[in-house]
A and B are shown apart, each in its own frame.
Chain A
Amino acid sequence: MKKRGELKLSDSSKGWLKRLKTGLRRSREKLTDQLFDIFLRTTIPGEKVWDDIEEVLIQADVGIKATLKIVQDLRERVEIERIQDPLQILGLLKEELIRILGDSKEPLLLANKLNVLIIVGVNGVGKTTAIAKIAHRAMKGGLKVLLAAADTFRAAAIEQLEIWGERVRAPVLKHQRGSDPAAVVYDSIHASQARGVNVLLIDTAGRLHTYVNLMEELKKIKRIAAREAPKSNIKTLLVIDATTGQNGIAQAKLFDEALKIDGIILTKLDGTAKGGIVVTIADELRIPINLIGVGERLEDLCEFNANEFVEALLSRDI
């Protein structure tokens, strides 16, 4: 439901699961329900069923701790309520995963305000591409966009953002390579205010969360944003690659400790990885997932939908 004062990035009338099934040029076979197979093979939920559920969750990168917890809870419930129907168990599992992931969240963008999205993450997760996709959707929705090239570290990162800027026709504010990223942020906020920009997207350098100095640099960026644009809607979004395993939890934890992460963009869901680590992240840190990347085209960015995500998580592909 569209609330008052909330801006949608664009209408995502088509679910991303549908996109995966129909839109992508990928050689994806039809998604069949892996757990469904399992449950068809059994009549009574015996030990094997629980092992199979465990296997499916772990193979989806949900992580051993969260998996054991989910299976344990489910087992208890099944025993207490004397559930016999395997499909009902499957339904309860989905329900539990959806509950953990949560669907309701604050709107990402607010109307009549400058929206500042600071995009952070480790190296190679797809920050710049995600920014281009967000910019593309925001511009299609008639919003005024500015991109800030605050990755002043990596070779050609600025050029990369500039090329994306040209493709989506959004202006890019940049300094030289090696300059202070906080200065880029400072300038970009003042430029946004002067030009009446709706959405300012800040591209930051990829960094491993274990480098304390580099995390300090991000804190500074956020401080400057808060100081220079106190009345704006500032959101710090962490980009996580769906291929990431259990390290994703460490990433989320340390980025959150340093910056207070408002939401997650889960990228590269068009491969064979399931991105199950976000279940653990949602469970342990209560960080909502906002957007997902499902392909290489500019249109391949969708709003997160827990129901569809869980369907895909429990399904078999290729």
Chain B
Amino acid sequence: MFENLSTRLQTIFAKLRSRGRLSERDVDDALREVRLALLEADVNFKVVKNFVLAVRERAVGSEVFESLTPGQQVVKIVYEELTKLMGLTPSKLVFAPKPPTSFMLVGLQGSGKTSATAKLAYYLKSLGKRPFMITTDIYRPAAVAQLKTLGEELKTPVFFMDLRTPPLEIAKHGIKEAILNGYDVVILDTAGRLHIDETMMEELRKLREEIHPHQILLVVDAMTGQDAVNLALAFKEKIDFDGVILTKLDGDARGGAALSIKTVTNKPIKLVSVGERLNCLELFHPDRMASRILGMGDILTLIEKAEAAVDARKAQVLEEKLRKGQFTLEDFLNQMQQLKKMGPLNQILGMLPGISGLPAPKNLQISDDELTRLQAIIQSMTPEERRNPNIIDGSRRLRVARGSGNTTQEVNRLLRRFHQIKKLMKQFDSFQGIRLGRKIFLS
């Protein structure tokens, strides 16, 4: 597997940091690695070229060679240029002075527009807005049914019409309906289309000219390769857009497309989707993305997540126990439930500095079903067993398994996992900056 960009740059700069003075060749060596890493991250070929040139120009200038810590100076330049490329501040959604504000989502097939529409509705609701969704996708089979289902889950209305109605008609009627019922934000879902499909692009242009959406958002898959530039430029030229929603960032894609699109279109990434659940749309923070790329960890996002999910008092007690080596199965269960609220564990680990390079332990992932099962197993143990799992021998295992309706293998798996977590907790202590990590995790 490829190393991710953060680890990659971390290794390069660790080498640089450990040296005293840098020669021009050192800088070139480092920049070659930067180039490779960025290309592996799917940043567009030309964007990489310009980026490396810009960094080199500054790096071989007096700035670096006169510095006492040249390695760090290069890191700083790369970081600064990267941040400059990504934009400095988050770009918020803009609302119209006179409601309803209308957002139109556009993009290629399969980029995740319909999911993003529903997630955006959830996000807006959490801001106290009253969203209204309209689907104009009359082409893809069951696109309407998909948004309707999601609307029901969100308890948010979805407007649709007969599939023979032209999208423009649907949009007009929908907006009228939204105004009539006093909704303050309208989200317009459109059919996926190829940026070189003139007929379909013309349809969007008409929608834009007649409806005047306040913001047009291009939905882009984070896994997109070199073509990101082509599609973004085509959408910009043919219908223009105000910002980007980057989807599927919960995978291991390094999302170089974000860098490319920002550079060639100068349109900000506004929102990112980091999971399949409807609450998984977040504001995009360019500075954090740059930090993440450079391996500084996405601490800020993690803090926000932790604050939202973790019961501070419980966590403090847990930390206390952990320190005294009293971490029990009951605490484990408790913690699993809290982690569950924060999102997938591998995602959380990826945000911690120093941890992002480690392979996330695979079997630490946990689903709702499993959580219920874990609960059943742990609750079938005696209080003594929960405090001291080491006493659970063969016959106790069998009893616990029977009591909870599971197999002994499952009990074994749980115990293994428990020990793994315990070990992981200990590991945290040994990592640099992990004091902070643990604080986030536990307090």
Residues of A that sit less than 8 Å from B by CB? 25-28, 55, 58-61, 63-65, 122-126, 128, 154-157, 159-160, 162-164, 167, 177, 208-213, 241, 243-250, 253, 268, 270-274, 276-277, 318
Contact: A160 with B112, CB < 8 Å?
no
Query: Which residue of A55, A123, A248 has the most chain B CB atoms within 10 A of its CB atom?
Result: A123
CA distance A76 to B234 in the complex (A): 39
**CB < 8 Å neighbour of A208 from B110, B141, B142, B248:** B248
B226 adjacent to chain A (CB < 8 Å):
yes
Q: Chain A: which residue is nearest B222 at the CB level? A: A247
Q: Chain B: which residue is nearest A318 at the CB level? A: B196
Contact: A156 with B146, CB < 8 Å?
yes
Q: Closest CB-CB distance, B392 to chain A, in whole Å?
A: 25
A-B contact pairs, 20 of them (CB 8 A): A28-B196, A60-B226, A156-B142, A156-B145, A156-B146, A157-B146, A159-B145, A160-B140, A163-B142, A208-B248, A209-B252, A210-B250, A243-B224, A243-B225, A268-B109, A272-B227, A272-B234, A276-B225, A277-B225, A318-B230
Contact: B112 with A124, CB < 8 Å?
yes
Q: Closest CB-CB distance, A6 to chain B, in whole Å?
A: 31
Contact: A155 with B227, CB < 8 Å?
no
Contact: A271 with B227, CB < 8 Å?
yes
Contact: B36 with A271, CB < 8 Å?
no
Total number of B residues with any Cβ neighbor in A under 8 Å:
58
With a cutoff of 8 Å between Cβ atoms, the chain B residues found around residue A124 in the complex are: 109-112, 221, 248
Q: Which 7 A-B pairs have the closest CB atoms?
A: A245-B225, A124-B110, A245-B42, A163-B141, A156-B146, A155-B149, A160-B142
With a cutoff of 8 Å between Cβ atoms, the chain A residues found around residue B41 in the complex are: 246
**CB < 8 Å neighbour of A272 from B39, B143, B196, B252:** B196
With a cutoff of 8 Å between Cβ atoms, the chain B residues found around residue A156 in the complex are: 142-143, 145-146, 148-149
CA distance A214 to B223 in the complex (A): 19
Contact: A164 with B141, CB < 8 Å?
yes
Contact: A247 with B112, CB < 8 Å?
no
CA distance A63 to B223 in the complex (A): 13
B198 adjacent to chain A (CB < 8 Å):
yes
With a cutoff of 8 Å between Cβ atoms, the chain B residues found around residue A58 in the complex are: 39, 45, 226
Query: Which residue of A25, A163, A164, A241 has the most chain B CB atoms within 10 A of its CB atom?
Result: A241
CA distance A259 to B256 in the complex (A): 28
A-contact bits for B111-139, CB 8 A (1 contact / 0 none): 11000000000000000000000000000
